[in-house]
Structure 1
Amino acid sequence: MKILGSALFGGAMALAAAGGALANDEKPKYGGSVEIGTVYVTLSALSWDAQDFNWKHNHDTGLVYEQLFAADLSKSVKAGGKHPFIADAWLPSDAIRGELAESWEWKENPLRIEIKLRKGIMWPDKPGVMKSREFVADDVLFAYTRLDESPRKIKGYFDHIAKAHAPDKHTVVFEFKDYFAEWDYRFGYGYFSGIYPKEVVEAGASNWKNVNGTGPYMLTDFVSGNSNVYSKNEGYWDKDKIGGQDYKLPFIDKITYRTIKDEATFITALRTGKLDILESIRWQNVESLKKSAPQLKWNRWLNMSGTFLAFRVDVDSPLKDVRVRRALNMAVNKDEIVKAYYNGNAELFAYPMHPDYVGYFQPLKEMPASVQELFKYDPAKAKKLLAEAGYAKGFTFKTQVCSCSADHMDLLPLVAAYLEQVGVKMEIQPMEYGAFLSAMTSRTLSVGYMMNNGHTNPTTTIRKSFTTGQQWNPSGWSDPKYDAKMDEVYRTKDEATRIKMLREMTIEILDLAPYIWLPTPYIYTAWWPWVRNYAGELRSGAVRPGPIYARMWLDQELKKKMGY
């Protein structure tokens, strides 16, 4: 059982204020096209093949490839529920619906989950790839097995599963070695959980032209660095209940994700109506947009990615010494970053646990003094610790940063200036996203590595960043005792016990300071009022907006009246 509780740290109230609720007599409209600058507006699709274990795969394929589970969007704040659906990869247990799964049930001896699949769902006809046929259990097993056998598989990702099999064409059974707390996320709605047919692999799964799924849209064009174009799947199976009436999905004929690397350009595109939705807007641009385009609708949300400067501890450098890492945390005036750099649009402490993870998250004021001091500006103590570690005269280290992030490109020189005041010099190396990501995954990254990383969910936020051999562990942190604690968390059925364990692990890693822990900014989403049945929701599974977009519609008459 997972909880979200009030999970609406800023999201729900902002959503409610966004005017997303529909008038009682409003009926959906079909047709039209929508242009979207998504949360990842600066990043092109990285890979079309789930077997590559590409974190962005769901984002780009999630209108085409469906999954066993998805968000129950009828529980959204917009619909009168309590969930903002902002989290990058967490669906609370009371907000999960079956997508390709119709129902599921836990059974004992052996410990297993039996999943009944929906009947009558069809793979579309795709010339050169496949003839239309029914979606069946073997398709689920094929996608799961291929993922499990991937040479790029995340360490331990499916180790909890003993066996997967299909007793009949509409039933899939996953047998477990032990109870596993993230079972639904791992194979049900996770980053790599899209279900695709063997015919796509036979044709070439990495080629976008072969992508073919059971979802509401078909991928009909892709230009790297420019756009992904999705056209309506006329044979899509699902419906949505609106105003007590069922409507066939999707409503919009064509959805285009625009890739725009330059911030000024995508802000201008929103202001001039060339983008209908822009999901990620820095606070610096909000007031000018509100003045120049006052009709825009807004949602403000606390970033679901933590910002930090990671220190490699798996190579010889001064940063292997915890005194040095703690000193560099104290050397950075984080309160000033919140007030002056973010103009108050950030939280001093919101990582590695996110405030939306109610119960799991502990405010800074509840943390031990040793953790609290890492967030207080104390250059005198920083110099003292550096001297104790043998670096009274300081040292120099290199930090890589992605040029794709305007925020990081602006923030890192500010961090460097703070460090220079205690004698530590930082060489900054900007990199294009592909090279930046490759540096980490191939372990060729520099001693310093400026990034943000998705919180994901309350367990994975710790596992992926701080346990041995994980792909998203930029510091190279490795401690067998810590790894063992993580394993125990996953095997623990009782959520209250898991919460206690994860709180202790969070305090432990904060104290050891493998990163400079930096503030977490608020982000804004804006959209034009002709986009209906939308209130800034971002994800209905791991980085997957597809089901959200499938339920939007376009008021083309309003758009025309407004002069666009």
Structure 2
Amino acid sequence: MKKIIWILLSCLMVISLILASCGDETTEKTTTDDDTDDVVRITESETKLDTDEDDKEKPDLPSDQPRYGGTLHLAFGGDITSFELCYKGSPVPQPTIGVTNDPLWAGDWAKGPAGTGETDWRMSEDVFANKAGFIAESWEWSANFETNEGTLIYHIRPGIHFALNPDSEASRLANGREITADDVVYTLDQIVRNPNSYTHAAAPALRDAQITKTGEWEVTVKVPADALTSAISRLGIWGRPIPKEVIDRYGNLVDWRNSVGPGPFMLVDYVAGSAVTFDRNPNYWQKNPAGPGMGDELPYLDHLKWFIIPDQSTREAAIRTGKVDQMYLVGWETAITHRKMAPDLLEAEMPAEGGWHIKWRVDREPFTDVRVRQALIMATDLEMIRDTLNGGLGQIMTWPFVYHPSYADLYLGLDDPMCPENVREIYTYNPEKARQLLADAGHPNGFRTEAILTSGEADFYSVLADMWSKVGVELELNVMEMGALAGTLATKNHKAIGALGLSPVGTFFDAGDFTGTGITNVSCVDDPLVNKTFEEVRKVMVTDQKAAMKLVKDLMPYFLEQAFALPRPVAPSFNFWWPWVKNYTGEIYLGFGVGSANYWPTYIWLDQDLKKSMGY
């Protein structure tokens, strides 16, 4: 496989930026693919870009008529470090799994904009009613809380096969065979018991799950009743069958060449630090469930290509020049530039998922005292942070859950009539009251504490340190690499303060950010009322998700008063794509978590004629 090296010609970039800002002149785009030196160059220059690989004439079709063929180009900021399902070096299994290995269930495309519009699929969610069966064609669950027994049964869909790539030794080993109940048992066993699995680390209650084949096409999972909702959520999206014979032969899927799955695409090439290439699985089982192409075989695309572009400015140039077709998680400042320099781009706002909140260890002094915690929140001007660092965009009250329309029944905002006045006061900037609370807690002269952070968070923490200094609190900043930071937080070896991304609101019932001993409970919260409430929430979730949300909202006045963490104002991000990407309105997550974030290309098609007519 040829190696691809990305080179940003910075001087031409500067020239192009100047030209793009002048009058009506148009900055055109170019890509050079030179087989003689194995180099692909991206520039914003004065010739047109042509990345289409198929120049064969195609019949004229209406713009909304599905079309087969073409390559969807996407860009990632970080390299792919493993192709493994059970990989703890990342917060979740690696992203290629999302397109090569179908889950047991996932978000129903027909419930989104292409169909009924019940959700927009722009944010990670886990509303069970919005699920569709994939490897599992149906499921059922029950719980006996008196005996603490939970049961989850999957009915496996017959007729789904592992993709067969004749050029792959690992794929030939599985030989395109049919997925069986035994494959599902093996995979579920791996993700709950393998020490390298994120699920093993994040959901300790599932480690002793009893997973058995109870029928030719049936798999039964037995867990404690209070862990049933966690099993429903986690196993459904991460239960992505892998062939045991491949693991037996190679030991794992860390090497991309060992990738084998029943998903819509096959991983066919990987060049470290450069690109990942997927080919269409010609024997994929799913049909288009909604829209003008309802009933069509999927996927429409011939190829899917992920470019690895660590440099942010180069990634930004790639979407503006049409080198990549879509890009999400674009910050608000970059979004302004895209709108100006590439006005033909379409866009959608993506609600904030939660952000990296400031979590202090409530099991260690001085943060064992709720007055200290409340004081530090009062000493933080949340509105100023939003206005200056977030461009005035986004939510202020983002802890313990962000607002999401599908979960509105659990969210308590500061403007909610149900929000008590004393809670509003805690989350309103008041350094004088903060100093008084610190004095009442025995710290009239403040105290010194430490926060661990990455270099990317330095600006935010510097603002925080300046604010806290006004009430006598000295914040020492300990900058670490991301890997070291994650490891320190996961093992609870941080001295006082650390930041970790908020779990998706879709897992609200799991409450892993503030109950239990999992890696996301960075604040080490162990509150009897919170624990008891979420035990009840998990019981109610088995039969009534909305009633479970109401229990959470009823707890929120107490929860927010306890100030277990400092909410960080989080701005929305933006998703940009070119008009030739059809059957697409900004969908990203088909269900819960990052594992559902790469599946949407299965349903879209490319209007390559439109792309050429636009000069790309």
**Alignment TM-score > 0.5, same fold:** yes
Q: CA deviation at 1:381?
A: 0.8
Which of 213, 221, 227 is matched with 1:166 structurally? 213
2:285 aligned to which of 220, 226, 237 = 237
Measured at CA, do residues 226 and 418 of structure 1 come closer, stay the same or move farther in structure 2, by a change above 3 Å? farther
* CA gap 1:107/1:478 in 2 versus in 1, 3 angstroms: closer
Q: 491, 504, 517: which is aligned to 1:442?
A: 491
With over 3 angstroms needed to count, the CA separation of the structure-2 counterparts of 1:165 and 1:451, relative to structure 1, is: closer
Distance 1:259 1:395 in 2: 44
Q: Quote the residue 1:419 is aligned against.
A: 468
Task: Quote the residue 2:68 is aligned against.
Answer: 30
2:266 maps to 1:218? yes
Q: Which range moved further: 222-231 or 267-276?
A: 222-231
Query: TM-score, normalization: structure 1?
Result: 0.86
After TM superposition, give the deviation of residue 177 of structure 1 in Å: 4.7
Instruction: Give the structure 2 partner of residue 67 of structure 1.
Output: 103
Give a deviation string over 1:359-387, Cα, whole Å, max 9, x none. 11122223222321222010111111122
Q: 1:193 is matched with which residue?
A: 239
* CA 394–548 in structure 1, closer or farther in 2 if over 3 Å, else same: same
**Aligned partner of residue 295 in structure 2, secondary structure:** strand
Change (3 A) 1:341 1:214: same
Aligned counterparts of 1:437 and 1:160: Cα–Cα separation in 2: 22
Matches within 5 A, 1:41-190: 41-45=76-80, 47-52=82-87, 54-57=90-93, 59-88=95-124, 90-106=125-141, 112-125=151-164, 126-128=168-170, 130-132=173-175, 133-151=177-195, 153-154=200-201, 156-159=203-206, 163-175=210-222, 177-178=224-225, 180-189=228-237
Given the superposition, is the C-alpha separation of residues 124 and 496 from structure 1 closer, same or farther in structure 2, using an over 3 Å criterion? closer
Q: TM-score, normalised by structure 2?
A: 0.80
Aligned counterparts of 1:221 and 1:374: Cα–Cα separation in 2: 53
- Give the alignment partner of residue 304 of structure 1, picking from 353, 362, 379: 353
- Matches of 1:262 and 1:510 in 2, distance apart? 39
- Aligned partner of 1:482 in structure 2 is 530
- Report if the CA contact (8 A) 1:401-1:451 is conserved: no
CA deviation string 1:237-267 (max 9, x = no partner): 2221442642211122222333444433322
1:170-220 Cα deviation digits (max 9, x unpaired): 22233455373445313112xx33221212322223333212100011122
Residues in 1 aligned to 2:410 and 2:62: alpha-carbon distance in whole angstroms: 37
- AA of the residue aligned to 1:378: N
Contact 1:468 1:478 in 2 (8 A): yes
Counterpart residue number, 1:273: 322
* Aligned partner letter, 1:276: D
* Aligned residue-pair number: 531
Cα deviation per residue 1:305-362 (whole Å; 9 max; x = unaligned)? 24411112344x4333322211111111111222233222111113322321121112
Flag structure 2 segments of 5+ consecutive residues without an equivalent. 1-60
| Residue in structure 2 matched with residue 364 of structure 1 by the alignment | 414
Question: What is the alpha-carbon distance in structure 2 between the residues aligned to residue 300 and residue 231 of structure 1?
Answer: 30
Displacement of 1:47: 4.0
Which residue among 540, 548, 551 is the counterpart of 2:600? 548
In percent, how many aligned pairs have the same letter? 28
Structure 1 segment 255-404 matched on structure 2, within 5 A: 255-315=304-364, 317-356=365-404, 357-365=407-415, 366-403=418-455
Q: Secondary structure at 1:84's aligned position in 2?
A: coil
Q: Which residue of structure 1 aligns with residue 38 of structure 2?
A: none
The one-letter amino acid of 1:234's match is P
Please tell me whether the aligned partners of residues 353 and 402 of structure 2 are also in contact (alpha carbons under 8 angstroms): yes
Q: Structure 2: which amino acid aligns with 1:194?
A: R
Cα distance per residue 1:272-291 (max 9 Å; x no partner): 22221110111112222111
d(CA) in 2 for partners of 1:155 and 1:452? 14
Residue 469 of structure 1 deviates from its aligned partner by 0.7
Change (3 A) 1:291 1:65: same
Q: Deviations over 1:463-500 (max 9, x none)?
A: 11011211111112223553343223212234454223
Per-residue deviation at 1:155?
A: 6.0
Q: Which amino acid aligns with 1:336?
A: M
Structure 1 pair 196–158 and aligned structure 2 pair: CA distance change class (3 A) = farther
Note if contact 1:221-1:229 (Cα within 8 Å) is conserved in structure 2: yes
Compute the displacement of 1:546 (Å): 3.3
Q: Which of 195-204 and 156-165 deviates more? A: 156-165
Aligned to 1:528: 578
The one-letter amino acid paired with 2:388 is A
Structure 1 residues 439 and 212 mapped into 2: Cα distance closer, same or farther (>3 Å)? same
Paired letter, 1:515: A
- Give, as a single letter, the amino acid of the residue that structure 1 aligns with 2:506: N
- Aligned partner of 2:37 in structure 1 is none
SS at match of 1:429: strand
Q: Which runs of 5+ in 1 are unaligned?
A: 1-22
1:454-493 alignment to 2 at 5 Å? 454-457=503-506, 459-460=508-509, 463-492=511-540, 493=543
Superposed CA RMSD in Å reads: 2.7
Range with bigger deviation, 369-378 or 475-484: 475-484
Does the C-alpha gap of structure 1 residues 436 and 280 become closer, same or farther in structure 2, counting only changes over 3 Å?
A: same
Using the alignment, how far apart are the partners of 1:393 and 1:111 within structure 2? 52
Give me the whole-angstrom Cα distance separating, in 2, the residues matched to 1:481 and 1:474: 19
Return the offset for 1:450: 2.9
The separation in 2 between residues aligned to 1:467 and 1:25, in whole angstroms, is: 51
| Distance in 2 (alpha carbons) for counterparts of 1:278 and 1:213 | 25
In 1, the alpha carbon distance for the partners of 2:477 and 2:143 equals 55
Structure 1: distance between partners of 2:547 and 2:604: 40
Corresponding letter in the other structure for 1:97? A
